[in-house]
Structure 1
Amino acid sequence: MHTILPFLLAMVAAVVLLEMWAAKLRIAYPILLVVAGLIISFIPGLPIVRINPDLIFFIFLPPLLFDASWSISFKEMKKWWRIIGSFAFLVVFFTALSVAIIANHYIPGFSIALGFLLGGIVAPPDAVSTAAITGFVKIPKATSAILEGESLLNDASALIIFRFALVAVGTGQFIWHQAALSFLWIVIGGTGIGLLLGWIFVQAHKRLPTDASADVALTLIEPYFMYWVAEELHCSGVLAVVAGGLFMSARRLVFLNSASRVQGFSVWESFVFILNGIIFLIIGLDLPEIVEGLHAKGIPVSTAINYGLLVTGVLIAARMISAYAAMLATYIFRPGVVPRAGSAARVWLIPLTLGWSGMRGVVSLAAALSIPMVLDNGTEFPQRNLILFVTFVAILLTLVIQGLTLPWVIKKSHAFDNLTNDEKEKIARRNMKHGLKRHVHEFLTIKFEKELNDHAGMQSLLKLWEQRQRAAEGSLMGEKKKAVFFELLESQRRFLTEMNKDPDISEEMIREQLYQIDLEEERLRRS
């Protein structure tokens, strides 16, 4: 413990410093963290990072998925559900199948079951890497929503493939009708458990006398509980966390007060940043142990690198083929929703950018590390070290090569130039604020007409809202006047919730405005 604890603290410090350096260099921090971990791993005397395979999913995956489900726009997910569903399920299965066939054909000792196991590991792109990299370039909200929605669901589909392949490797057989029933229970049961627990947690937050600190603490343990219950019942813990997270996210205004939302945002942002940073560092730090395992099996590193290059090429090709197939299907079956990018040639560059955004990361590493050392019968798990090494190569190459070049590809292709309509977004944002201002005037005029006419202080209340200044006069508000202001803020929240139905106003705009209202309420409560 006295050796590991300083090392873990040093890892957190390294994550923070490397993130600042990455921001200065204007590159995505996951890339720098992986490379740094790889370099650090060669420093002599450092302890070898070993994580219990049974705990790797449980430590990192639930909070990362829970946070993603709270951040994503459910409104955009519903709008683009067809392409999100196809990328999250069909493309993942096609990728896993492609890897399985190629691995079975070209890698000695790889059965189809082992190929599907490897395919399930490396199939899902990483949401954190994509978000960090696309943050340096402008892409349309729709494209961002598709990538986020895909990454939220493809983890579940890939891990289902991984689970079935693991069973097939362990038992040496695959019974289709049993697998079909098991698949239905994994999907339906996982989703149902997530929704049920999400409802229970919402009721607990509403009915228990919690404060902001207690609310935030509960949200930190809730994803772990969802995941654990689902896995204990042999369902998909990933789907449970995603379903429960989406359910609770849609009701955050109901069961969390402004203090809980403001504090929770800051706590979760830091918590997820540390988790992501540590896991990307571990990707690099884990290389010596993987190479040591290859040497123990007599597999030359050069041969393993060639296999890694082959699988990475399959991943990139499969995603490219899928992206262009999706665009072709859209042209044939739904030509009305084909993006208008200025020219036909530019339209066909959009799948290129979507295909090139398939960086691998956290989930792939977690899945690879969770492969057991031995089978149920006590024999050694076949090809475990080679699978780990190939996964490492795929993560490293896609992160470094695709990650560093994706902003350049987006800029040079000009595929999104006509789709990133800044002026339209400005108009929508202005319309939202004008509508909110009209609502405030109507709310005060109708509900507090007598007070507005008879009391000069109520007129100043209206001006205070309009100016939004952190002035000293805010501290002079009486309790009665504050109560009116709190009611006004709550009315704004209801109005913004209704305004979210406007297709021209993004959910991101609504959430930004709601966060400002929460901050205003907290400022008044502390004045």
Structure 2
Amino acid sequence: MLDNLAFYIGIVIVILFLIMASNKIKVAYPVLLVLAGLAISFIPGIPKLRIDPELIFFIFLPPLLYEASWKISWKELWRWRRIITSFAFLVVFFTALSVALFSNYFIPGFSLALGFLLGGIVSPPDAVSVGAIMKFVKVPRRMSSILEGESLLNDASSLIIFRFALITAGTGQFVWYNAVTSFGWMVIAGVGVGVAIGFIFMKLHKYLPTDANIDIVFSIVTPYVIYLVAEEIHSSGVLAVVSGGLLLSNNRLSFLSSTSRLRGVNVWESFCFILNGLIFMFIGLDLPEITSGLGDVSLSSAIGYGLLITLVLIIARLISAYAAVIVTLIARNFITVADSRHPGYKGIVIIGWSGMRGVVSLAAALSIPVYAQGGAEFPQRNLILFITFVVILTTLLLQGLTLPWLIKKLNMPDPDFIMPDDEMYNKLRRMLSQQALNHLKTNYSQHLETEKVLQQLAVKWEDASVSNNEDILMTEEAKKVYREILNLQRQWLTDKNKDHRIDEEIVRKHILHLDLEEEKLHFL
């Protein structure tokens, strides 16, 4: 490891420049990172990368899922729970079944069990890729909520299929009632473990004398503890981490201070930023290792199989998107659904085309044992690995590059939030100021007569509660002027700090206040 330290440091630097480039050209960074890793892998003398699947499952997956569960809206997740769960479970199973039948029929040497094994590997779309693309385009909130919610749960369902298929392919036996019992245990126990451990950590945050640093360390440890405990009792670690993350996220105001929340966001964004960058770069770098194990299967045949499986995945997802709409239209006659309005072909196409594969698929493929029970080589392991790589690369390039164009071309209106974001922001701000002003006048009228600071706050809230939209939001030109003034103030403080009679800690507090003022400009 230390022998290649310079190489890994160089990889991190390359990742940073590539992500900056992706932001500049508005292309999802997973696409550039996989292509760069692929290109670097062909450079002579580059160390061969061998990815340990346990490294991905334990080091990378828990924090990435945990951070995603903190970002998602529980309100939206619950509102669209039926379509999210159908895509996360039923659609994943349908996709795995489609891949199993196709591979069993068209790929020589593939049994139905191996087909399900491959289907379980490649069926879940990747959350990171979809999220990276959504940064550059605006889609209706319901679409992003459905895609985010699906990506949180589909990893668990696909890994459950993968585990059962792995046992069947290795032993040649499949006992359906054992599979049903195990499936129920993995789901129920996984959710239970996540909620229970999340509740324990919530109480630790709340009742122990923690500070911001301890809270952040606790938050980093939490997903690993949840995942490890869940896996030890043979339940779903993915569902456990998601459940625990949703519980803590939904109650964050009750046990975290404002300082912990502010600092925690910065730490977690940086932490997951480097994890995402590394994992997609590793996917590209791992190609020589995957290709070298193809054996008797020709490279052209293996690529052809991968492209055909990719086509099956795309068609299966598009069919599933249409089927989900049909089921919703039928179900609204018998039960209350979140929205009975037809989403139109635009919504169906967007959801159907958002099927890029990534981290979980690669980790699952790599975790296939080299030898099956009895000591024989696990059948078709190397071909499954290569097909998985082709699927990841093809979906990232084909769908990842075309999805932003497709979303802009369809230009789907948001049926839920017809009010512009800035207008909604202003409306809530006025209502919030009026609520604070009413509370102050009702409960602290005597203090209001004597306390100058409270009088100033009252004036501020009165102005905010009656001001127009134009008075609240700053134009880009005004922000530019304000940033220039803030920079001048920082420079003045730096020069003033040369005076030995002034405590530098006081100067730093003023600089921190100026930094917070500049940070607020991102939300105005």
- Kindly indicate whether the alpha-carbon contact (under 8 Å) linking 2:325 and 2:342 is maintained by their aligned counterparts in 1: no
User: Partners of 2:263 and 2:7 in 1: how far apart?
Assistant: 29
- Kindly indicate whether the alpha-carbon contact (under 8 Å) linking 1:205 and 1:255 is maintained by their aligned counterparts in 2: yes
Q: What's 2:457 paired with?
A: 461
User: Partners of 2:263 and 2:116 in 1: how far apart?
Assistant: 43
2:345 is aligned with 1:348: yes
2:391 is aligned with 1:366: no
SS at match of 2:113: helix
2:122 is aligned with 1:112: no
TM-score, normalised on structure 2? Answer: 0.85
- Kindly indicate whether the alpha-carbon contact (under 8 Å) linking 2:318 and 2:353 is maintained by their aligned counterparts in 1: yes
User: Partners of 2:367 and 2:56 in 1: how far apart?
Assistant: 6
Question: 1:266-304 CA deviation, whole Å, 9 max, x = no partner?
Answer: 01001111111111001110100011111xx22111000
Question: 1:182-204 CA deviation, whole Å, 9 max, x = no partner?
Answer: 11111111110111100111111
Q: What's 1:397 paired with?
A: 394
Q: What's 1:429 paired with?
A: 425
Q: What's 2:274 paired with?
A: 274
Q: Any residues of structure 2 matched to 1:97-496 within 5 Å, and which?
A: 97-294=97-294, 297-334=295-332, 337-339=339-341, 347-414=344-411, 416-417=412-413, 419=415, 423-463=419-459
Letter in 1 for 2:327: A
SS at match of 1:210: coil
Question: 1:207-231 CA deviation, whole Å, 9 max, x = no partner?
Answer: 2211111110111111011101110
User: Partners of 1:90 and 1:451 in 2: how far apart?
Assistant: 61
Structure 2 gap ranges (5+): 465-471, 473-481, 490-512
- Kindly indicate whether the alpha-carbon contact (under 8 Å) linking 1:56 and 1:369 is maintained by their aligned counterparts in 2: no
User: Partners of 2:413 and 2:240 in 1: how far apart?
Assistant: 38
Q: What's 2:53 paired with?
A: 53
User: Partners of 1:356 and 1:286 in 2: how far apart?
Assistant: 26
Q: What's 2:497 paired with?
A: none
User: Partners of 1:235 and 1:256 in 2: how far apart?
Assistant: 29
Give how far 1:376 is off. 3.9
Q: What's 1:494 paired with?
A: none
How many residue pairs were aligned?
Answer: 469
Change (3 A) 1:378 1:447: farther
User: Partners of 1:418 and 1:187 in 2: how far apart?
Assistant: 34
Q: What's 1:22 paired with?
A: 22
Letter in 2 for 1:449: S
Give how far 1:340 is off. 6.4
Give how far 1:156 is off. 0.7
User: Partners of 1:124 and 1:159 in 2: how far apart?
Assistant: 9
User: Partners of 1:339 and 1:36 in 2: how far apart?
Assistant: 43
Question: 1:351-391 CA deviation, whole Å, 9 max, x = no partner?
Answer: 11211111111111111122222224332222111111101
- Between stretches 249-258 and 404-413, larger displacement belongs to 404-413
User: Partners of 1:216 and 1:349 in 2: how far apart?
Assistant: 41
Letter in 2 for 1:11: I
SS at match of 1:47: coil
- Kindly indicate whether the alpha-carbon contact (under 8 Å) linking 1:139 and 1:420 is maintained by their aligned counterparts in 2: no
- Between stretches 148-157 and 166-175, larger displacement belongs to 166-175
User: Partners of 2:348 and 2:341 in 1: how far apart?
Assistant: 11
TM-score, normalised on structure 1? Answer: 0.85
- Kindly indicate whether the alpha-carbon contact (under 8 Å) linking 1:53 and 1:372 is maintained by their aligned counterparts in 2: no
SS at match of 1:139: coil
SS at match of 2:384: helix
User: Partners of 2:231 and 2:142 in 1: how far apart?
Assistant: 33
Give how far 1:410 is off. 1.7
User: Partners of 1:127 and 1:117 in 2: how far apart?
Assistant: 21
- Kindly indicate whether the alpha-carbon contact (under 8 Å) linking 1:170 and 1:376 is maintained by their aligned counterparts in 2: yes
- Kindly indicate whether the alpha-carbon contact (under 8 Å) linking 2:140 and 2:414 is maintained by their aligned counterparts in 1: no
Question: 1:8-57 CA deviation, whole Å, 9 max, x = no partner?
Answer: 22222111110001111111111111111111110111111112233321
**Identity, % of aligned positions:** 56
Letter in 2 for 1:460: Q
SS at match of 2:146: helix
Structure 1 gap ranges (5+): 342-346, 473-515
Letter in 1 for 2:106: Y
- Between stretches 87-96 and 127-136, larger displacement belongs to 127-136
Q: What's 2:77 paired with?
A: 77
Question: 1:468-504 CA deviation, whole Å, 9 max, x = no partner?
Answer: 99999xxxxxxxxxxxxxxxxxxxxxxxxxxxxxxxx
Q: What's 1:499 paired with?
A: none
Give how far 1:338 is off. 4.5
User: Partners of 1:340 and 1:273 in 2: how far apart?
Assistant: 37
Q: What's 2:93 paired with?
A: 93
